[in-house]
Amino acid sequence: MKAAVCYGPDDVRVEEIDDPSPCGGEVKIAVAAVGVCHTDLSMATGAVPVPYPIVLGHEGAGVVVETGPGVSGVAVGDHVVCSIIGPCEQCFYCLRGQPSLCERAPLFTGTMLDGTTRLSKDGRPIHTLHYQGSYAEAAIVPERFVTPIRRDAPLDVVCGLACGITTGLGAAMMRAGVVAGSSVVVVGAGGVGLSTMLGARFRGATTVVAVDVVARKAERAVELGVATHAVDASACDPVAAVLEATAGRGADYGFDAAGMTGTLDQVVAATRPGGTCVVIGRSMAEVRVTLDTTVLLQQRTVTGTFGGSVHPRRHLPEFVDLYMQGALDIGALLDARYTLDDAVTALDDLHHGRNTRGVIVMG
Residues 70-89 that bind Zn ion (CB under 5 A): 88
If the CB atoms of residues 270 and 350 are measured against Zn ion, the closer one turns out to be: 350
Smallest gap from residue 279 Cβ to Zn ion (A): 15
If the CB atoms of residues 104 and 313 are measured against Zn ion, the closer one turns out to be: 104
Helix (H, G, I), strand (E, B) or coil at 232: strand
Helix (H, G, I), strand (E, B) or coil at 262: coil
If the CB atoms of residues 102 and 218 are measured against Zn ion, the closer one turns out to be: 102
- Per CB under 5 A, the list member of 102, 129, 245, 359 interacting with Zn ion is 102
Q: How far apart are CA 155 and CA 137, in angstroms?
A: 14
The helix/strand count (H/E) of the chain reads as 11, 18
**What backbone torsions phi and psi does residue 315 show, to the nearest 5 degrees?**
-85, -35
- Enumerate the β-bridge partners of residue 27: 67, 141
Site map for Zn ion, 226-265, x if CB under 5 A?
----------------------------------------
If the CB atoms of residues 88 and 289 are measured against Zn ion, the closer one turns out to be: 88
Site map for Zn ion, 26-55, x if CB under 5 A?
-----------x-x----------------
If the CB atoms of residues 50 and 163 are measured against Zn ion, the closer one turns out to be: 163
Cβ neighbours of residue 236 closer than 8 Å, sequence gap 6 or more? none
Q: How far apart are CA 314 and CA 296, in angstroms?
A: 33
> Can residue 310 be called a binding residue for Zn ion (CB under 5 A)?
no
- Enumerate the β-bridge partners of residue 140: 28
Residues 124-163 that bind Zn ion (CB under 5 A): 163
> Can residue 94 be called a binding residue for Zn ion (CB under 5 A)?
yes
End-to-end CA distance of the chain: 12
User: Which span sits near Zn ion by CB under 5 A: 9-17, 103-111, 200-208, 295-303?
Assistant: 103-111
Smallest gap from residue 86 Cβ to Zn ion (A): 8
Closest CA to 200 of 234, 236, 167, 173: 173
Pairing of strands 60-67, 358-361: unpaired
Smallest gap from residue 310 Cβ to Zn ion (A): 14
> Can residue 91 be called a binding residue for Zn ion (CB under 5 A)?
yes
Smallest gap from residue 44 Cβ to Zn ion (A): 13
Cβ pair 307, 165 in contact under 8 A: no
Smallest gap from residue 163 Cβ to Zn ion (A): 3
What amino acid occupies position 35?
G
Cβ pair 215, 234 in contact under 8 A: yes
What amino acid occupies position 239?
V
Size of the site for Zn ion (CB under 5 A): 8
If the CB atoms of residues 102 and 343 are measured against Zn ion, the closer one turns out to be: 102
If the CB atoms of residues 129 and 239 are measured against Zn ion, the closer one turns out to be: 129
Closest CA to 186 of 244, 234, 226: 226
Residues forming the site for Zn ion (CB under 5 A): 37, 39, 88, 91, 94, 102, 104, 163
